[in-house]
Structure 1
Amino acid sequence: MMDLTQKQWVGHALTHPVEGFEDMRWKKAGSLKIALLIIVLLFFGEIAYGRLYGFQFYVSYDKTFNIIPYIVRSFVLFAVWVTGNWSVCTLLDGEGTLRNICIYSAYALIPYTAQLYINVLLSHFLVRDEYVFMQIIELIGVGWTALLLFSAIKSVHQYSFRKTVLALLLTVAAMLIMLFLLVLFMSLIQQIYIFISTVYTELSYRAKV
């Protein structure tokens, strides 16, 4: 089996969706630094897609910039995915560690992340009649990432095809549950903050009176 640098392993995983992650597993390859860089690029790609798209294809009516949705669509969703998959696959006797799930999943997101930047760039040069080319690029990016993600989970946990499908479905279910609980938690924090703020305002008013 080949000896590659960490950067070369990224290319190997991308161009060999069937056996690339399997080779990485046996060689214990993969870099957390590269994985984090990919998620950071995903974060900026989501911002570019939402704010810098060509005006002939998309017009943003937001007067203020809110960074929270982009953090959720990148860092939060990725963290929930990794945690959910690790939790589910621990119960399904998966062999993948939290570190490997994080690395393999991040590598699988490269085509999706790349198509964000490519389409943002093309949106400033193409006309509306040529939008089909951007749709094709988006479809390729999403489809390629889906294939890589399936292969990554299958390889990291050493699952069969059917068990990988089951693991992915359960992971999505776990993500929905965690996101629901996260929303409830944030709502609770907000209510507590409002209550404390109201009490403080009331006490301050009475102290002045």
Structure 2
Amino acid sequence: MMDLTQKQWVRHAVTHPVEGFEDMRWKKAGSLKIAMLIVVLLFFGEIAYGRLYGFQFYISYDKTFNIIPYIVRSFVLFGAWAVGNWSVCTLLDGEGTLRNISIYSAYALIPYVAQLYLNVILSHFLIRDEYVFMQVIKFIGVGWTVMLLFSAVKSVHQYSFKKTVLAIGFTLSAMFIMLFLLVLFMSLIQQIYIFISTIYTELSYRAKV
């Protein structure tokens, strides 16, 4: 089997959606550093897509910059996917480790990340009548990533086609549950903070009086 560098494995996995991840598994290839770099690029790509898009295609009405939604759409969702898939597939006799799931999933995101940056750049050069080209690029990027993600899950866990579909469905359900619990936890923390802040303000006022 081929002997490639880590960067070459990235290109091989992305350009060979059927056997790329399978080859990576047998060669025990994949870099966690590169995977984390891809997620960081996803984070900045989401920011660029939301804030730097050409005004003729998208106008942001937000007067202040809030980084939280971009963290959620990148780091939080990716982490929820990796942990959710690992948790679910452990119960379904999957062979993938959390490390390999994270690496393979990050590699699968490359087409989606690439279309974010490409569409942001094109939005400053194309006119509204040429918006269809940007839509085609987005469709290809998203579709390619979905195909790679499916292949990544299938290869890392050594599942059949049907079991891969089942695992992805359960993973999405697990992600929804985790994000729902996270929202509840953050809401609880906020309520506790408000309660403590109110008590502190009241005590400070009475101490001054």
- The TM-score range, normalised by the shorter chain, is over 0.9
Q: What CA distance in whole angstroms lies between the structure 2 residues aligned with 1:125 and 1:160?
A: 45
**3-state secondary structure, aligned to 1:47:** helix
State the AA in 2 paired with 1:38.
I
Aligned counterparts, 1:8-27, within 5 A: 8-27=8-27
Which residue in 1 is equivalent to 2:116?
116
1:100-137 per-position Cα deviation (integer Å, ceiling 9, x unaligned): 00000000000000000000000000000000000000
Which residue in 1 is equivalent to 2:98?
98
State the AA in 2 paired with 1:201.
T
Which residue in 2 is equivalent to 1:137?
137
Which residue in 2 is equivalent to 1:175?
175
Which residue in 2 is equivalent to 1:52?
52
State the AA in 1 paired with 2:12.
H
**3-state secondary structure, aligned to 2:86:** helix
State the AA in 1 paired with 2:153.
I
Which residue in 1 is equivalent to 2:32?
32
Q: CA shift at 1:204, angstroms? A: 0.7
Q: What CA distance in whole angstroms lies between the structure 1 residues aligned with 2:116 and 2:202?
A: 49
Q: CA shift at 1:3, angstroms? A: 0.1
Q: CA RMSD in A?
A: 0.3
Superposition TM-score, scaled by structure 2 size = 1.00
1:135-155 per-position Cα deviation (integer Å, ceiling 9, x unaligned): 000000000000000000000
Q: Specify every segment of 5 or more residues in structure 2 that has no aligned partner in the other structure, as ranges.
A: none
State the AA in 1 paired with 2:111.
P
Q: What CA distance in whole angstroms lies between the structure 1 residues aligned with 2:208 and 2:125?
A: 62
State the AA in 2 paired with 1:150.
F
Identity %: 87
Q: In the comparison of the two structures, how many residue pairs are matched?
A: 209
Which residue in 2 is equivalent to 1:189?
189
State the AA in 1 paired with 2:76.
V
**3-state secondary structure, aligned to 1:120:** helix
Q: What CA distance in whole angstroms lies between the structure 1 residues aligned with 2:176 and 2:61?
A: 29
Which residue in 2 is equivalent to 1:147?
147
Return structure 1 stretches of 4+ with deviation > 6 angstroms.
none
State the AA in 1 paired with 2:59.
V
Q: What CA distance in whole angstroms lies between the structure 2 residues aligned with 1:145 and 1:177?
A: 23
Superposition TM-score, scaled by structure 1 size = 1.00
Q: CA shift at 1:208, angstroms? A: 1.1
Q: What CA distance in whole angstroms lies between the structure 1 residues aligned with 2:185 and 2:36?
A: 26
Q: CA shift at 1:15, angstroms? A: 0.7
Aligned counterparts, 1:67-78, within 5 A: 67-78=67-78
Q: What CA distance in whole angstroms lies between the structure 1 residues aligned with 2:16 and 2:56?
A: 37
Q: Specify every segment of 5 or more residues in structure 1 that has no aligned partner in the other structure, as ranges.
A: none
Q: What CA distance in whole angstroms lies between the structure 1 residues aligned with 2:202 and 2:16?
A: 64
State the AA in 2 paired with 1:168.
I
Q: What CA distance in whole angstroms lies between the structure 2 residues aligned with 1:123 and 1:16?
A: 29
